[in-house]
Amino acid sequence: MKAYVVTKGSTDLSGLKLVNRPKPKPGETDILVKMHAASLNYRDQLVISGNYHDGSVKRDTIPLSDGAGEVVGVGRKVTRFKKGDRVTGTFFRDWISGPSTGPHVALGSPADGVLAEYVVFNQEDAVKIPANLSYAEAACLPCAGVTAWNALMETGKPLQPGDTVLVIGTGGVSMLGLLFGKAAGCRVVVTSSSDKKLSKAKALGADFLINYKKTPDWDQELMRLTGGKGADAVIEVGGVGTLQKSMQCIAMQGKIGIIGFVAGPGQGVNPIGLAFRAAAIHGIGVGSRAMFENMNAAIEANNIKPPIDKVFPFAKAPDAIRHAQNQKFFGKIVVRIA
């Protein structure tokens, strides 16, 4: 089969190679999946550039954690799936439900990921695709979707209809957070430096739009838009670079889900304001299979469809990475495998 690997010691895109590997065989409790699509996350850029956690990959590694495909083979002890089922793998291995007892092994690093024609999953580390989604749409869910769902619906104070959700930026996690927030009956505020992207967020249902380049004090603008109440929940993908402002516009008993760090290092932050608002910061590390299944039920019931910026053919996967690196995309970038 054909597969992409990030070569041992890779520090840039030249380390992403298309190779031939033997077609994997499922064990007794495994499923063999013919992959149809995979999607990119910011994490994948870090893996390829050697900047993820412990540095460069220690062995040739198939990248990407998020993918969807069809079950074409099952081990003799498999009970959860059958041939023909449409599935996605879970981001983490062995996190079925409840609080994380990690660290768990993640797809795409250190475990082999999904940018390959065939992948083997243990039956416990996969879920069925919502009936309303294509393979490309379903490929957007394992990391980005579950992360947004966990931050809004599973961790901390549950969202209530009429709450205000703030999402930072217009990437995959943020736009899925927008869609989940709207499905929950909330008002959603989106920040971006691009009016074009903000108009696309408006088309997805965003209630308030803030261009943070034109309005540097966007936290104050959010307070104005909400009549001084602030945001009940924040999808915080910016990290230290945006966290201080997120804390300055959090509502009483609100919650901030710390997810990423795309805004760079920023300045030091002072969390003392959280005490006066009885607010909380939660670290969000994707989520469990049970969260994934809860999210899929909501996606199907509300006909939620992840926004896809562009789909690249398998042979052009490096171009998909380049497209992600230019940071001009909206929503998710997908690679069509079959």
**The dihedral sign for the CA sequence 186, 192, 90, 94:** negative
Q: Which CATH class is domain 2-142+305-336?
A: alpha beta
229: which strand partners? Answer: none
d(CA 7, CA 56): 9
Q: How many CB atoms lie within 10 A of CB 314?
A: 20
Please, are residues 20 and 4 in contact by the beta-carbon 8 Å criterion? no
Task: For residue 18, report the phi and psi dihedrals to the nearest 5 degrees.
Answer: -90, 125
pLDDT at res. 273: 85
**The dihedral sign for the CA sequence 257, 262, 267, 268:** positive
* Among candidate residues 125, 123, 99, the one with its CA nearest the CA of residue 113: 125
pLDDT at res. 267: 59
Q: What is the CATH number of domain 156-283?
A: 3.40.50.720
181: which strand partners? Answer: none
pLDDT at res. 263: 45
> For residue 76, what are the contacts with CB-CB under 8 A and spacing of at least 6?
28
Look at residue 73 and give its three-state secondary structure.
strand
What stretch of H or E contains 126?
strand 126-128
The DSSP letter of residue 314 is G
pLDDT at res. 272: 84
Q: How many CB atoms lie within 10 A of CB 282?
A: 18
pLDDT by residue, tens only, the chain of 338 residues: 999 999 999 999 999 999 999 999 999 999 999 999 999 999 999 999 999 988 999 999 999 999 999 999 999 999 999 999 999 999 999 999 998 887 899 999 999 999 999 999 999 999 999 999 999 999 999 999 999 999 999 999 989 999 999 999 999 999 999 999 999 999 999 999 999 999 999 999 999 999 999 999 999 999 999 999 999 999 999 888 899 999 999 999 999 999 965 544 555 678 888 988 999 999 999 999 999 999 999 999 999 999 999 999 999 999 999 999 998 999 999 999 99
The DSSP letter of residue 244 is H
Q: How many CB atoms lie within 10 A of CB 68?
A: 28
d(CA 68, CA 126): 10
Gyration radius of the chain over CA positions:
20
pLDDT at res. 266: 52
pLDDT at res. 262: 54
Give domain limits for the chain.
2-142+305-336, 156-283
> For residue 249, what are the contacts with CB-CB under 8 A and spacing of at least 6?
166, 219, 220, 222, 223, 230, 231
